[in-house]
A = this chain, B = another copy of it.
C-alpha cells in the first residue's frame, strides 16, 4: 500500500505515473488510452467512454440513443449505471459488498489509488481487508481492452469471497439486441444490428462489428447477461444479482445486455488470485474465438500484446527532454506532451475526415515525432486541394470517408496552415525535397509541385479579400461557430487577414532561409494585408475580431459582450502588423481583460445571448468552448507570439497555466493532458472557472511542443543547423535539455548568470559566436553550454496613494540593498500643482512622468543595478512599459481597503496628494488581476507582516 505523500495527487517521475488518492475530490479526473483502432477515456471511478473505428467511430458500450456516433461531448455526464467497467467484491461470510474502483457501490474505502501510466491505467483499492488491483491496457493491433484483476485477502484467516466483473453494454440498438454466455468461448457475447432504414445503408454496413464481448481467462462460477435481471429491484449499488448466492444465468433477448460474471472463491490467509479479461467489439463469433485463442489459448500472447502496446506508445517519444526542476512541467513535456501529440498525429483524432486545419497542425506536431508521417500528411492534404488554391474543409483519409458535421460548413482559413506547418517540418528535417514533390488536385489529375500548391493557396487567400484588403470569413475561420459574421458573403475576419499575412511572411521566410526563388509580390501582399488591418481594425487599444456582413465591427470597446478577442492580438504580433506602441497597449488589455489564474480567455466578456452578426459561438454557454473559455489552442498561439517578441515570462505563464497543479480540485483534471479548454467567464461564473472540459482533442499540443522547442529551449532547426536562442522564465535559473536533431544528440546546459551581458554559447567547450551549431555529424553527442545574462532586478511597489508604497519601498531598498526610487520625484511641477488642487491627472498627463522614470531606469539597467521603485502603477498599459526595460521586473501590489485608507490619509497632511483624489485613484486603478509577475499583498495588515511577505517573495519567489 504505497502512498508516498499526503498529497491528493502525486506525480511520480521515476515511474512516469500520476496518482490520485481520492475518488471523491476529483470525480471526473481520469486518463485515456488509444491504439490505431480505438480510444477509451476512463475516469477514476470506473466510468469509461470508448470508441473504435470501422471506419467511422462506433460505440461498443452504448448509451440509449439512436444516432450518437458523433464526436465526444465535453464534460459528458454519466448515469448511475452506465457506461462502466465495475468489479463488485462480496464477502460471502458477512454479506458485505463494495465495488472497485469506486462506482457503482461508492462505499467508503480504506485505500484508493488511481494511477495513470503511459500505456496503462491501474487502480489499487482496499476495503473489508481485501485488496483489489486493477490494470487496463490495450492491445496494440486490435480494438481490445485488456484487463487484469488481482484480489488479495489481507486477513490472516481464510475467507470466502465472490468477485463480479460487471461491464455494462447498454442499449445497443432498437432493431436487434441480445446477449448470451458462450461456454466454448468462456465469454459473454452481446449482439446487435446497428439501426438503419435505407436499403443502401445495408450494403455499407455488412462488415460492422455489431458484437461486444467480455472474454475471461478463468471459467466463472456463474454469469448474467441481462442488465435488468442483474440489477433487479435493488439499486445498482447493491444489485439483486449480487444479493443472491449465485448469479441467475439469464440471457438477453431484445433486452438491455450486460456482461456480468461471478467468481466464487475460497481465499486462504493472505492469498491472492488473479484474473484476466478482454472487452471489445467483433464482427462474428469466429473472430471472438480467434481472439480468445490468441490471448488466452495456445498462443497465450496476453503479456506479449501488452508489451507490444507499451512499445507502440514509446513511439511517441520526441526530440527533446528537459530538466527544469518543475516536476509537473518536466514530466508533461518529456512524456505526456509527445504522447498527446502522437495520439493526434498517429490516429488523426479517430476520425475519417479530420478538419483540414486540425490535420495540418496535428502534423506540425508530428514533424517532431514522426517526420515521415507529417510529410505524407502534407502530401495527402495538398492532393485534395482545388486548382483554385482553395483547401477543402476536411481531408478524407479513408476510402469510404465523406465530409460530415462541421466539415459541411464553409470555412476560409485552411490555406493559412500550409506554410506555417510546413515551415516547422522543414526546420526540423531540412527535407527541402518535399517542396518538389509532384501532387495532383482534387479537381484535376495533373500534378504541380508542393511549392506551387502552397503558392496557389496563398494566391487564393489574397484573392479572397474585399476591396479594403480584409479576408472574407464566409461561415467561419479558425473559429468554427463564428458562422454568421460573413454568411451573406460580405463579412470579414481581422484574424484571418492577419493570419494570411503571417502565412505569406512565413513563406517568404522559408524561401529566404532555404534559398528558394519566390515572387516578390508575396512580401507586398503581406504588407498590404497588415496595412488593411491597421487601417480598418485597430480600435485604439486593441484589434477588432472582424466586420460583419452589415458592416459592424465586433470585438471592440463598445461591445458589452465579446469586447476583446485574443486571436487578432496574438496574430498581429506574429504577422508584424502591430506597432511597438500598440503592442504595449494590446498586451496590457490582454492582461486586464483576458488573463485569469487558470489561463488566458479567448474572449471577454462571454456572450450571454445570441448576437446574430457573430453567430452560433454566442449561443454556447458563457465560459465554455469558443464563448470565452480558456481555449488552450488560442492561448498557445498567444504564447507563441510572445516568444517571437521575447516575452518569455508572459509566454511561460500562459503555458504553465495549461497544466493543473496546485488547483486540482477546481480543474478536476490530472496534468496528463491538455484539454481543449478550461472554463472561462472568470468574472461571470467564478464557481466553474478553471474546470477542465476533459476533452483531449486539441490543436494546442503541437504548438505547445513547438513553444517548448523553439521558445523555452530555443533549439530550432534551420537548414540542418541548430539555432540556439533559449528564453527562460524568470523563476528558472537554469535548464538542462537533451535535444535530438539531425541524427545527433545535444546535451545542453542553460544557465543564467550575471557574469555575461549577452547569450554566450560553448560547444564541447569551445566558444561559438554565431549561436548556431553548423556541420552537425549524425550519431555524435554534443555538449553545449549556454550562459544567459541574469538581468538586474526591478521591484515596483504599486498601489493607490497612501497605501504605504514609499515606506515599504525604502525598507526593501534597505533590506535587499536595491537602489530606491520614488515615482513622485519624477512629477513635473505642473502635475504636482494639479494634484495639490485635487485635480486628477489624465493618462496623457501621466505620460511624460512615466517617460522620465523609464529614462532613469534605463541608465540603472546599463549599470546592472537592482532597483526598487515606489510607484502607483494604476494603469495596465503603463505597467507594461516597465516590463520592456530589460530588468527582471516584478510588481508588488499593496492592496488596501478604500475606507481604511481614507482614515490613513487624513493623518498625512504634509503630503501634496489630496484625499479627495483618492476616489479618482480607485477608479483609475486597473487591478492586476492575474498578471503573473504581480504579487498581491493584503496591505491592510501590519507593516511588519506585509514587509516580511514581500521580502520573502523577492528572495524566494513566494511569500
In the bound complex, CA of A422 to CA of B937 (Å) = 86
In the complex, which residues of chain B have a beta carbon less than 8 angstroms from the beta carbon of A79? 64, 79-82
Assess whether B80 is in contact with A254, with CB atoms less than 8 Å apart.
no
- A116 within 8 Å of B by Cβ? no
Assess whether A197 is in contact with B405, with CB atoms less than 8 Å apart.
yes
A547 vs chain B, min Cβ distance (A): 18
- A674 within 8 Å of B by Cβ? no
Write out, one digit per residue, whether chain A residues 938-958 have a CB within 8 A of any chain B CB (1) or not (0): 000000000000000000000
A620-637 with Cβ < 8 A to chain B? 620-621, 623-624
Cβ-neighbour of A199 out of B76, B487, B623 (below 8 A)? B487
Given known A65-B64, A67-B66, contact A254–B688 (CB-CB < 8 A)? yes
Assess whether B64 is in contact with A196, with CB atoms less than 8 Å apart.
no
In the bound complex, CA of A227 to CA of B79 (Å) = 11
In the bound complex, CA of A406 to CA of B195 (Å) = 12
- A844 within 8 Å of B by Cβ? no
A661-688 with Cβ < 8 A to chain B? 679, 685, 687-688
- A340 within 8 Å of B by Cβ? no
In the bound complex, CA of A641 to CA of B175 (Å) = 30
Cβ-neighbour of A254 out of B63, B254, B621 (below 8 A)? B621
- A484 within 8 Å of B by Cβ? yes
In the bound complex, CA of A73 to CA of B171 (Å) = 11
Chain B residue at minimum C-beta to C-beta distance from A105: B235
- A68 within 8 Å of B by Cβ? yes
Chain B residue at minimum C-beta to C-beta distance from A75: B254
Cβ-neighbour of A175 out of B193, B202, B621 (below 8 A)? B621
- A483 within 8 Å of B by Cβ? yes
Cβ-neighbour of A196 out of B231, B616, B685 (below 8 A)? B616
Assess whether B199 is in contact with A80, with CB atoms less than 8 Å apart.
no
Cβ-neighbour of A193 out of B176, B615, B619 (below 8 A)? B619
Assess whether A253 is in contact with B76, with CB atoms less than 8 Å apart.
no
In the bound complex, CA of A27 to CA of B227 (Å) = 14
Chain B residue at minimum C-beta to C-beta distance from A624: B254
Chain B residue at minimum C-beta to C-beta distance from A232: B24
Given known A64-B63, A409-B199, contact A235–B233 (CB-CB < 8 A)? no
A283 vs chain B, min Cβ distance (A): 13
- A244 within 8 Å of B by Cβ? no
Chain B residue at minimum C-beta to C-beta distance from A196: B616
Assess whether A76 is in contact with B104, with CB atoms less than 8 Å apart.
no
Cβ-neighbour of A106 out of B64, B227, B234, B679 (below 8 A)? B234
In the complex, which residues of chain B have a beta carbon less than 8 angstroms from the beta carbon of A233? 24, 27, 106
In the bound complex, CA of A208 to CA of B176 (Å) = 33
- A520 within 8 Å of B by Cβ? no
In the complex, which residues of chain B have a beta carbon less than 8 angstroms from the beta carbon of A256? 77
In the complex, which residues of chain B have a beta carbon less than 8 angstroms from the beta carbon of A255? 75, 688
- A423 within 8 Å of B by Cβ? no
Assess whether A236 is in contact with B24, with CB atoms less than 8 Å apart.
no
- A475 within 8 Å of B by Cβ? yes
In the complex, which residues of chain B have a beta carbon less than 8 angstroms from the beta carbon of A254? 75, 621, 623-624, 679, 688
Interface-centre pick from A74, A175, A623 (highest chain B CB count, 10 A): A175
Cβ-neighbour of A235 out of B68, B106, B405 (below 8 A)? B106
Given known A77-B171, A199-B475, A253-B687, contact A176–B621 (CB-CB < 8 A)? yes
- A445 within 8 Å of B by Cβ? no
In the complex, which residues of chain B have a beta carbon less than 8 angstroms from the beta carbon of A380? none
Assess whether B176 is in contact with A619, with CB atoms less than 8 Å apart.
yes
Cβ-neighbour of A65 out of B27, B68, B80 (below 8 A)? B68
Write out, one digit per residue, whether chain A residues 2-33 have a CB within 8 A of any chain B CB (1) or not (0): 00000000000000000000001001000000
Cβ-neighbour of A620 out of B67, B176, B236, B487 (below 8 A)? B176
Chain B residue at minimum C-beta to C-beta distance from A174: B73
Assess whether B621 is in contact with A178, with CB atoms less than 8 Å apart.
yes
In the complex, which residues of chain B have a beta carbon less than 8 angstroms from the beta carbon of A316? none
Assess whether A80 is in contact with B81, with CB atoms less than 8 Å apart.
yes
In the complex, which residues of chain B have a beta carbon less than 8 angstroms from the beta carbon of A105? 235
A740-764 with Cβ < 8 A to chain B? none
In the bound complex, CA of A239 to CA of B524 (Å) = 66
A335-379 with Cβ < 8 A to chain B? none
Chain B residue at minimum C-beta to C-beta distance from A688: B253
In the complex, which residues of chain B have a beta carbon less than 8 angstroms from the beta carbon of A41? none
In the bound complex, CA of A255 to CA of B694 (Å) = 13
A181 vs chain B, min Cβ distance (A): 15
In the complex, which residues of chain B have a beta carbon less than 8 angstroms from the beta carbon of A80? 79-81, 231, 235-236
Assess whether B199 is in contact with A483, with CB atoms less than 8 Å apart.
yes
In the complex, which residues of chain B have a beta carbon less than 8 angstroms from the beta carbon of A197? 405-406, 408-409, 616
- A221 within 8 Å of B by Cβ? no
Assess whether B64 is in contact with A67, with CB atoms less than 8 Å apart.
no
In the complex, which residues of chain B have a beta carbon less than 8 angstroms from the beta carbon of A81? 79-80
In the complex, which residues of chain B have a beta carbon less than 8 angstroms from the beta carbon of A236? 80, 235
In the complex, which residues of chain B have a beta carbon less than 8 angstroms from the beta carbon of A616? 175, 196-197, 199, 202
Question: A79-B81, A106-B234, A106-B235 given. 13 additional CB < 8 A pairs?
Answer: A63-B65, A77-B171, A77-B256, A80-B80, A80-B235, A80-B236, A176-B620, A176-B621, A197-B405, A197-B406, A198-B408, A199-B484, A199-B615
Binding site for B on A (CB under 8 A): 24, 27, 63-68, 70, 73-77, 79-82, 104-106, 171, 174-178, 193, 196-199, 202, 227-228, 231, 233-237, 253-256, 405-406, 408-409, 475, 483-484, 487, 615-616, 619-621, 623-624, 679, 685, 687-688
Ordered by A's residue number, 30 sampled pairs between the chains whose C-beta atoms are within 8 Å are A24-B233, A63-B64, A63-B65, A64-B65, A66-B67, A66-B68, A66-B70, A73-B174, A75-B255, A77-B228, A77-B256, A79-B82, A104-B235, A106-B234, A106-B235, A175-B620, A196-B616, A197-B406, A197-B409, A198-B408, A199-B484, A199-B487, A199-B615, A202-B615, A235-B236, A237-B237, A253-B623, A253-B688, A254-B679, A255-B688
Q: Which 3 residue pairs across A and B have the least CB separation, nearest first?
A: A65-B65, A80-B80, A254-B621
